[in-house]
Structure formats: structure tokens, C-alpha cells
A and B are shown apart, each in its own frame.
Chain A
Amino acid sequence: MAIAEQNTIPLAAPTFSDNNIVEVKGVSKFYEPDIQALLDINLGFPKGQMTTLLGPSGCGKTTLLKIIAGLLEPTEGDVFVNGQLVTGPGPERAFVFQDFALMPWATVLRNVSFGLELRGMAKDERYEIARRYITNVGLEGFGEKYPHELSGGMRQRVGLARAMAVDADVLMMDEPFSAVDEQTRRQFQEDLLNLLSIEKKTVLFVTHSIEEAVYVSDQIVLLSPRPGRINKTVRPDIDHAASSDEIRRGKNYLDSVEEIWHELKGYLE
């Protein structure tokens, strides 16, 4: 993770505040000498808010999320979580996977408690916590089922419960709803928002859907096509106390969708 000082010319002066739980400083990523996925990303994720990464396919959203998760090393630059330099995965961060990443040989209960199991927590204790989150995500009574007995939407709820159970400050979700149908997806979005209003997590979210991004996010970061750079940050400023229909008809919602669509359309030309 060496920083090549001479080559790093910040596009915009990075602004960081104590308010940010995750800070990304000058991160670039090359997969191979000629495949640059990210170019000098400077970004702060405000504590307790939901930030969405949005951008065309292949612009490096997953790459950035994995770097923050400590699953990938940046070629240049650093990531800080709670002011600490990230050198690998840590207990203050939890990941929700696009393909759920559930263990098919284990019950829902064991899957949800797996993060706690890896931390060496006693069985009774971790199962008790897991049962609570299974209920919270709406899967009460499914603890003894196996993943293949559940629908796609239910499987992702298991993935969400697993991430919540370890009580991390930061939840990272890479297109968590892309494998479920539209109906389930909307239900899921609302349940997620409800859960977050109780649990107060910082969420790093990736999606392809502009509507979804605007509906759930406090802040939306638009990335340019590869190599991914930060092009724009949009704050939809939506009042989540309102009903879902009111939100989707509201001016802020529609304006933000329009603004983002306009920006993304520019990449197509």
C-alpha cells in the first residue's frame, strides 16, 4: 500500500470530518498493469448514514467495497475506519453478499450465527443472538431450515441477519437485491430502512438501480466508467418518515432520479 506522492494529484480537495466513520484517501486499484479499476478515490462515509455507490457496470464499485472491507488491497492509497488504517477485514465491518454466500450444509440458525461462531462465542449465547436477528428480518420459525429450502428473497434476509448479528458499525452491501424479484425487492428496501432506523448502522450500498439508490440513500456517489472516479455526490434529502408512496411521488425523489439519470446518460455517449 505504498503511496506514490508525485503521481497523486487530487481531483478535488478531499474534505474529511470527524463525522466520517469510513474514509477513503487517494485509493487507486490496478488488477493488472493495464487494468485500472479505480483512480484516486477520495471519499468519506458519514456515520449512521446510508451511502450508495452508483455507476455503470465495471466502473469499480465492487472493487471499492472490497477494498474497504479489507478483502482486497489497494494499489495506492489508504482506507481508515474509525480513524484506524485498514489492513484486512475487521469486526467493525460486515458484508452482505450479492449471491448471499450462505453455507448450504448449515441451517439458517448456524448461518446467521456464523460470524459469532468465528469469534469464539459460546453456542447458547450466539444462537440466542441469532434467533433475535432471524426474527428481526422476518424469518421467525425458519431457523432450522436449510438455505435451499428458502426463496431468494428469504436467503438474502439470512445474509442480512448474519451481518447484523455481529453488531458491526458498518454494513457493506454489494447489490444485495439484484437476485430477487421486484416485489420482494421493494418490501426488502422498506424492511431494511426500518431495521436501520432502529439499529443505527452506517451502510455502504451498491446498486444498479437509480430508483433504489434514491429511495434508500442519504448520499449517492456517482462513479465514472473505468477507471472509476468520483464524478458527483447527490444528497436526495428524503424524509423517510413519509410513506413509500409519498416518497416516490415527492419532488426531492423525482428531482434526484432525474439528476442522476442525466449524469449517467452522459456516460453512454
Chain B
Amino acid sequence: MKIFGFQIPSVFSLLIWAGVWEVIGQLEWVFIFPPLSGVLIELWDLVGTNAFHKASISTLKSFCYGMFFAITGGVSLGFFMGRVDAANKLLGMWVNIFASAPLSSLVPVLILLFGLGQTTIIVTVVLFAIWIITLDTLAGIKHVSPSLIEMGQSFGASRWNLLYKILFWAALPEILAGIRMGFIRAVKGVIIGQLLVSIIDFGQMFATFSRNLYMEEFWALTLVLFVFALGISSLIGEMEKRVEYYAGVRD
């Protein structure tokens, strides 16, 4: 962000927006924007409550289970499509559709199938995250230089060796990029899932807050989830940096 030609560090731009929020809140223009200070105080209280702890743990569980299935499933599917042309032809279109479709509209169907519980949330997370992981893994596999594969074959690599000694490492930068985007989508998935199920965890809290117009609590919870999503994304970004050194020099 630039003001009068000066480069403002992003921390400051964050502070400026916080200030704007506070002022709007204090002016009491719109009731859905309470002052930021109030939200932060509420946040402090909220984080201490039992309900919050329970919801956090349960959400984290859904998230981790979901991501586990999304990563194992997405990476395997990407490998499979990358190595078997017929599979790619058969599934490619569907994976692409799912990767860009508005999946929230499917959650009600999931509720019908899996009920109003954690299973639905986990399936939602998988559904949100798996396709982008599949696509990125596929791109990574397709990107592996043919001569690296021939090298493996010519030195007698078995199919399995080729897979985990060459293809996996060669595709790792793309796989990690996919997982990072998968994580961000999974955060969306877990929140949307909970909102729509709305009788458990954060979904229930959100439902209560917005039904009763507890705007400070509502924003406090939103902030927490937002920070959580950012934290995860930058964590994976760090991991990606560690393989970046060879992502650029591969070709």
C-alpha cells in the first residue's frame, strides 16, 4: 500500500484499516460493525470460554481428518491420472469441474447423506480441498522431465521405485502448492460446513451470535478463524520455500 508515494509496511496498512473500523464502529453508523476495541475485548473473553475450547478442538479434528483424506486421496488420484492416460481422459473433466464449482451448494445434499454431524463437516472439507490437490499433483507429474523417468528406467527402477524415488520428489513443489491451496479451501469448507449444519461447534456459535445480533462476538469469532487460516497458509508457504531451490532449476 502506498500513501503520498510512500511505501507503507503491511503492518501499518493493517493498523490503518483497524483504525477505520474503530472509527466507523464508534460512530455507530451501522449496527453490524461494532467498534474493533469491543470486538477485541469480546475475543479475549470468547477464547476463554468452554464452548470455544470444545468447538476449537472439534473443528480442528474435522479439519485434520478432512485434510488427511484430501491429501492422501488427492495426491494418489493426481499420480494415477498423471501416469495413466485413460484415467486422465476419463476423470480430468470431472476433477476440473469440481475444482471450480461452487461446492457450498452440495453441502445440503451431504447433510441428507451423512446427517447433521461431524461426518458431514469432514466430507465437506475433503470435497473442498481434494480437487485442487489432485490438479496440482497431476500438473507436477506431467511436468517431470521425460529424461528423468527414462534415467530411472534405464538404471532398472521398478514402478514403485520410480514413483517414490523420482516422480514424487520431482513433483513435490507442485504437490505442496496444491496442498497449500487445499488448506485454504479446507478452512472455507470447515466453516461453510459448520454454518450450514449450524447445530455443532463454531456453526452453532455463529448461528447463536447472528440470531441474537451479538455482533461483537460474531466478529471476534470471524477474526479468530481468519487468523487461523492465515497462519496455516504461511506455515505451508515456509515448507514450500524449502523445496523452491530446485523447483526453478528442474528444467
Contacts and interface: CB of A to CB of B under 8 A. Distances in A.
A162 B153 CA distance: 14
A145 interface: no
B62 to A, nearest CB: 34
B246 interface: yes
A95 B246 contact: no
Interface string B234-247: 00000000010110
Given A71-B154, A147-B249, A166-B155, A101 B145 contact: yes
A104 B171 CA distance: 12
Interface in B208-247: 243, 245-246
B157 interface: yes
A101 B155 contact: no
Interface residues of B, number: 22
Nearest to A114: B155
B147 interface: yes
B156 interface: yes
Contact of B150 (A71, A93, A103, A119): A71
B147 to A, nearest CB: 4
5 contacts: A89-B156, A93-B154, A115-B156, A118-B152, A148-B245
B161 A118 contact: yes
Interface string B163-200: 00110011010000000000000000000000000000
A162 B155 CA distance: 10
Interface string A92-121: 011101110101110000000011011100
B156 A101 contact: no
A97 B155 contact: no
A57 B151 CA distance: 23
Mostly, the A contact residues are loop
Contact of B155 (A99, A104, A115, A147): A115
What is the interface residue range for chain A against chain B?
A: 20 to 34
B2 interface: no
B159 interface: no
Nearest to B147: A101
Nearest to B149: A101
Contacts of B156: 89-91, 115, 118-119
Interface of A: 66, 69-71, 89-91, 93-95, 97-99, 101, 103-105, 114-115, 117-119, 146-148, 162, 166
A98 B147 contact: yes
Contact of A89 (B153, B169, B243): B153
Contacts of A95: 150-151, 154-155
Contacts of B89: none
Contact of A71 (B148, B153, B161, B245): B153
Contacts of A114: 155
B160 to A, nearest CB: 11
Contact of B147 (A99, A105, A115, A118): A99
A99 B148 CA distance: 9
Nearest to B162: A118
A43 to B, nearest CB: 20
B153 A97 contact: no
Contacts of A91: 156
B155 A89 contact: yes
Nearest to A116: B155
A114 B156 CA distance: 10
Nearest to A99: B147
Nearest to A119: B156
Contacts of B250: 104
Nearest to B248: A148
A90 B157 CA distance: 10
Interface string B113-133: 000000000000000000000
Contact of B154 (A89, A117, A147, A148): A89
Contacts of B170: 103, 105
A148 B246 contact: yes
Given A70-B154, A71-B150, A89-B154, 9 more contacts: A94-B154, A94-B155, A99-B145, A101-B147, A104-B246, A104-B250, A115-B155, A117-B165, A118-B165
